[in-house]
């Protein structure tokens, strides 16, 4: 269906016939979700933080607890998924349980949070590419040129059929998982089953350092798994595909992190890993790979790190694009964002707008002179993750409220106990993140930057909330039509 067919006048009910097209199966959706989590990037960039700022050798335990929290969340998430009929994901859940004003507030918060994470990654991948070219070819290219080029490629893929993105993400994901599993296997073979020390799971290790921060960083590693529901309109047999894909994605990602972090701790050494992570926050996993698989494997890992980052950027671009698409479809944002390409069946207008938005923000940050890693990446990822955890917590509340009101599902575990357990874990992590925000940002002026980040996250929710109130007063037909967002 063409863009013109989806557009309606400002006060009218949105056209319900316009929709995305695709035939994604469980495997395709799982690949895109796991690619968003960027397993190799987690092992290289996040695990040193979990070890050094969390509770040291207990990093695999932290990953296990984070997996449990996300599984508890997933129980309610999946139970409610059959009542969600569009690509709106979390905010569709929140609207269904807490109403349209809270739903739109969460929508703008989610879109803003993912946008910050996306731009942060777009800056980081430019830096990583520049380092790769310098080390391998001796070519010095400004990082920002590479970031801008990456945005163009991602925009092209996002413009076209979703299956094209799926195939690229699948190939990149298989390669990055393969190299991590090869490192895991080499460590297990060298140490033997008896040499895989269980100390990381001991009470002494778990209670050392800052276990709360360790678990919080581990939850960061799951960002993007909501994509199972975002691709609902493009899924084949969504009633069966979405629940299976969601559970599969969480279990695969969680198991992968627990095993690989355990191998990383053992591979470096129980007694040495904490100091090593503090001394080598950026290249700890690269050194580990060279020690166990040789220099050639380390070089390959550097290349795959860039593809891992690119896969993550592409996946998050697709998520932001689909948020904009649904908000445009129901008249919250410009209706032209709901345009669907007549041949590709993709939200091509939204993809183009998102590409331009990334260019504008990144160029502004470049003009200010911010560092791509310590400032653009660190601040953007922090702001995005705070919003992400808040959205997860609101979704848990919405699931509980929805099933208490409607009683369609009488399973107490699925509709109340599991979501409540997930909510408790998420609120604890959110409180820890807020309490430690200045320390997480670090550097001069950390307190002011922390306040700015907090205001941006809260402000993004307020914007959506106020927009909903305005639509309710001025365009009651449109406000009534927002029920379809859920």
Mean pLDDT of 86-105: 81
Q: Is the pLDDT of residue 33 over 80?
A: no
Mean pLDDT of 25-34: 68
Per-residue confidence (pLDDT) for residue 351, from 0 to 100: 84
What average pLDDT does the structure give for the chain? 82
CA 249 to chain centre: 13
Q: Is the pLDDT of residue 1 over 50?
A: no
Per-residue confidence (pLDDT) for residue 397, from 0 to 100: 96
Per-residue confidence (pLDDT) for residue 2, from 0 to 100: 34
Mean pLDDT of 11-38: 58
Per-residue confidence (pLDDT) for residue 84, from 0 to 100: 76
If one counts the domains in the chain, the total is: 1
Mean pLDDT of 207-222: 85
Helix (H, G, I), strand (E, B) or coil at 19: coil
CB-based contact 34:246 (threshold 8 Å):
no
pTM of the model: 0.81
Per-residue confidence (pLDDT) for residue 358, from 0 to 100: 92
**What does the alpha-carbon distance between residue 465 and residue 398 come to, in Å, rounded to a whole number?**
16
pLDDT tens-digit series, residues 359-376: 999 999 999 888 887 788
pLDDT tens-digit series, residues 219-241: 888 886 766 666 666 666 666 77
Per-residue confidence (pLDDT) for residue 7, from 0 to 100: 36
Query: What percent of the chain shows pLDDT beyond 70?
Result: 83
Per-residue confidence (pLDDT) for residue 415, from 0 to 100: 92
Q: Is the pLDDT of residue 149 over 80?
A: yes
What CATH number is given to the structural domain containing 321? 1.20.1740.10
Following DSSP, what letter does each residue of 78-127 receive, concatenated? HHHHTT--STTTHHHHHHHHH-HHHHHHHHHHHHHHHHHHHHHHHHHHHH
Helix (H, G, I), strand (E, B) or coil at 333: coil
pLDDT tens-digit series, residues 374-432: 788 878 888 888 888 899 999 999 999 999 988 778 889 999 999 999 999 999 988 88
Whole domain around residue 153: which residue ranges? 3-485
- Identify the helix (H) or strand (E) that includes residue 253: helix 238-268
For residues 377 and 165, the model is more confident at: 377
CB-based contact 226:10 (threshold 8 Å):
no
Q: Is the pLDDT of residue 137 over 60?
A: yes
């Amino acid at each position: 269906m063409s863009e013109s067919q989806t557009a309606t006048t400002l006060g009218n009910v949105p056209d319900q016939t316009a929709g995305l097209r695709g035939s994604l199966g469980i495997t395709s959706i799982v690949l895109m979700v796991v690619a968003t989590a960027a397993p190799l990037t987690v092992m290289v960039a996040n695990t040193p933080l979990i070890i050094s700022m969390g509770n040291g050798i207990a990093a695999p335990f932290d990953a296990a607890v984070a997996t449990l929290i996300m599984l508890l969340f997933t129980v309610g998430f999946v139970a409610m998924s059959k009542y969600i009929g569009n690509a709106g994901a979390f905010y569709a859940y929140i609207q269904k349980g807490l109403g349209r004003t809270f739903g739109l507030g969460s929508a703008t918060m989610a879109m803003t949070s993912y946008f910050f994470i996306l731009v942060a990654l777009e800056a980081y991948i430019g830096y990583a590419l520049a380092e790769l070219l310098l080390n391998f070819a001796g070519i010095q290219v400004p990082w920002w040129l590479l970031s801008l080029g990456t945005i163009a490629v991602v925009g092209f893929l996002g413009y076209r059929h979703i299956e094209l993105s799926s195939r690229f993400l699948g190939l990149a994901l298989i390669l990055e998982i393969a190299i991590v599993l090869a490192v895991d296997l080499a460590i297990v073979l060298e140490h033997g089953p008896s040499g895989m020390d269980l100390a990381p799971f001991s009470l002494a290790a778990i209670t050392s350092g800052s276990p709360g921060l360790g678990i919080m960083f581990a939850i960061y590693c799951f960002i993007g798994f909501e994509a199972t529901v975002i691709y609902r309109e493009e899924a084949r047999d969504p009633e069966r595909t979405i629940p299976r894909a969601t559970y599969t994605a969480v279990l695969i990602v969680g198991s992968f992190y627990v095993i690989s972090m355990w191998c990383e701790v053992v591979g470096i050494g129980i007694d040495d890993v904490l100091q090593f992570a503090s001394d080598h926050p950026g290249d700890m996993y690269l050194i580990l790979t060279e020690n166990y698989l040789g220099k050639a494997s380390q070089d390959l890992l550097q290349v795959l790190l860039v593809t891992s980052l690119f896969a993550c950027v592409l996946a998050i671009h697709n998520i932001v694009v689909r948020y904009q698409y649904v908000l445009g479809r129901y008249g919250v944002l410009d209706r032209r964002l709901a345009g669907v390409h007549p041949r590709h069946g993709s939200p091509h207008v939204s993809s183009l707008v998102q590409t331009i938005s990334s260019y504008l923000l990144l160029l502004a940050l470049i003009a200010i002179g911010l560092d791509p890693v310590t400032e653009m990446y660190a601040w953007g990822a922090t702001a995005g993750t705070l919003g992400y955890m808040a959205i997860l917590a609101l979704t848990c509340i919405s699931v509980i409220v929805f099933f208490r009101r409607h009683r369609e599902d009488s399973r107490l575990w699925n509709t109340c106990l599991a979501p409540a357990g997930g909510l408790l874990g998420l609120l604890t992590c959110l409180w820890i993140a807020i309490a430690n925000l200045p320390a997480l940002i670090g550097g001069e002026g950390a307190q002011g930057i922390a306040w700015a980040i907090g205001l941006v996250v809260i402000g993004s929710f307020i914007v959506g909330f106020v927009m909903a109130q305005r639509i309710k007063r001025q365009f009651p037909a449109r406000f009534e039509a927002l029920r379809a967002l859920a």
